[in-house]
Structure 1
């Protein structure tokens, strides 16, 4: 039985995808498969790689006659998934096939589970770093059943948001039952993914449609950020504008919500907000009381800036947009504070359930190598069943 399909959509970043796949295929497990959705200009590199690998756990969807948008490349993949569960990652990310064991054990414990996710870990590839990077990983190992009402508040009311909703459930760095994916498609315009911001589109729909959401504190994947990734644009303002321009040019769907004058290029908070508002508008969902949480998240987005000039520019731009949207009352709720202190060393050590350490640990060069290092620090996946039975 194929328990899990790991989907990796990619465009012109074949080397990153191949690195992740090589490490995944080193697993002895035979209950997962990897599905590559190649949207590259040159089909040969991945076609040759898959043929040379000769592994039945690896399959390829070749490029179509014309390049697809990111959304359309994602859209074509779920129908080809043979797994009971489906998960998506980026081509510069990594996912541990031992997720299959976590899904098996969790399904025994919670038979109606249809959405599963795990703790977050992040790796900036060396080619995208400008200096020393401190990262952190959660060190807990509890399985937590998340109530839908709590997830609704986190996603649609921005409860506990720092610069984006604190709701991790969706198919991106999460796993959804194939049955849930089909129900999502049937309920929402016969598509798995509608908004170009596919990861948050998936979260909106998962929160609405799932029966049981289980969160495991232990990381099972790595969010990678290489120099060519869209996420690299979050770290460099000019690069971010270039990536957004390219994204718009290749996009085949609506990005902005109607009558929501928060420029999407202000940052991650604005981008996610447009996705949520677009979703609510499309399906006639009317909610009140979310505005304050969103405004605080806008302030949090400003506070991620380490450059004082950029902080002030972002504060002014967000402030003007918030006033145009919600008036002076809304603007008064927007109070970002410049917090970066160049004279204070970044904390390293264990605090509040997280281990903070230098990202260069072990001289990891790829997301897969980084995961191998942190995997040795964390609760062993193979012991999950015995832990729950104790």
Structure 2
């Protein structure tokens, strides 16, 4: 019998967190779900755990050959047989409400649902300021509305493909997508994910072909940050440098072609930009490239990585400018305008948050099971 929801996890060498994530999902005791795990770990720890469980709702594959991030994600989605899919990290989990939402989506032939909020959970030692772990619960209302995915995609492109979570675009990473949509993407591009960033690549691809898209305020997942996660590394000033420094290109069987419209340095921001434009080309929607604005992308990269690679970023941005024949005044005015705009937007968000106190902070949350329990108690209290 086809399950209603496939929960997809791609993991490598984070066995403890992956096992805890699986346990937290199994604790829901739902017969509507399956868990699909593509394991690229060097150890057999997760495999042994899954074998001991002997659960018929877990689909598991262990590839011992070292894979790229993208390859492992493709293996994970390939395991799924559910009507709907949600992709989470190996240090994340899902909330019980997701079952009700997917049942509603199935009854109403909805293609995609994007939650505007997630619960953030920092595992112990992920943030040196809070060694015992903590979580944040955003204020939200139970609102659901239909959204224009292509219109939202245009706005995202006009803003440099940065901070996609602020836009009404569909997503499989901490969002809900009908498996039929992902199969269409594979038929067009040859794989479920491409580029260097599976989350932003899939955002663009899904937005281009989904037709019945909804946005909701309520969180459906917990976004975990463990000490070895990319988010934790970013807090420590990692994930930037020369293109040759990117771990994303290691173990690739063929050389990777960086997009001509993205400055040639390694950062989270430029990887998102490159993967987003890669998705547009892979989906054969090249007319959407005209909406892309590089100035917000360069602005955010400068703000985020100025303490690590400022001179490299300026040098590569200049190379992009001269290669495109854009005047120096025009180019750097565009960058500076967007730096100021992003700083003002950040100040406004922080001020609003501080004044309204819309987020609840909970300290000393030692594992993701406790995080789920705390959130569920807060839901009951708010009811």
Give the TM interval when normalised to the shorter protein.
0.7 to 0.9
Which stretch shows the higher mean deviation, 282-291 or 54-63?
A: 282-291
Partner of 2:347: none
Q: How does 1:59-208 map to 2 (within 5 A)?
A: 59-64=59-64, 66-108=65-107, 111-118=108-115, 119-131=117-129, 135=136, 137-158=138-159, 166-188=167-189, 190-208=190-208
* C-alpha displacement of 1:253: 6.0
Partner of 2:274: 274
* C-alpha displacement of 1:145: 1.0
Whole-angstrom CA distance in 1 between matches of 2:230 and 2:264: 18
Whole-angstrom CA distance in 2 between matches of 1:135 and 1:247: 29
CA contact (8 A) 1:24 1:95 kept: yes
Matched length? 365
CA contact (8 A) 2:241 2:309 kept: no
TM-score by length of 2: 0.82
Which ranges of structure 1 fall in alignment gaps of 5 or more residues? 341-345, 384-390
Going from structure 1 to structure 2, the CA distance change for 1:295 and 1:273 (only over 3 Å counts) comes to same
CA contact (8 A) 1:86 1:171 kept: yes
* C-alpha displacement of 1:149: 3.4
Partner SS state of residue 262, structure 1: coil
CA contact (8 A) 2:240 2:308 kept: no
* C-alpha displacement of 1:26: 0.9
* C-alpha displacement of 1:151: 2.0
CA contact (8 A) 1:347 1:356 kept: no
Q: How does 1:1-390 map to 2 (within 5 A)?
A: 1-42=2-43, 44-64=44-64, 66-108=65-107, 111-118=108-115, 119-131=117-129, 135=136, 137-158=138-159, 166-188=167-189, 190-238=190-238, 240=240, 245-252=246-253, 255-265=256-266, 267-282=267-282, 283=284, 285-287=286-288, 290-292=291-293, 294-304=294-304, 309=307, 316=314, 320=318, 323-324=321-322, 326-328=326-328, 329-335=330-336, 336-337=339-340, 355-358=358-361, 361-378=362-379
* C-alpha displacement of 1:378: 3.9
Whole-angstrom CA distance in 2 between matches of 1:136 and 1:224: 13
Going from structure 1 to structure 2, the CA distance change for 1:62 and 1:315 (only over 3 Å counts) comes to closer
Which ranges of structure 2 fall in alignment gaps of 5 or more residues? 345-349
TM-score by length of 1: 0.80
RMSD of aligned residue pairs (Cα, Å): 3.4
CA contact (8 A) 2:38 2:72 kept: yes
* C-alpha displacement of 1:61: 1.1
* C-alpha displacement of 1:13: 0.8
* C-alpha displacement of 1:75: 1.4
* C-alpha displacement of 1:274: 0.8
**Higher helix content, 1 or 2:** 2
Whole-angstrom CA distance in 2 between matches of 1:377 and 1:122: 15
CA contact (8 A) 1:193 1:201 kept: yes
Going from structure 1 to structure 2, the CA distance change for 1:302 and 1:245 (only over 3 Å counts) comes to closer
Partner SS state of residue 218, structure 2: strand
* C-alpha displacement of 1:373: 2.0
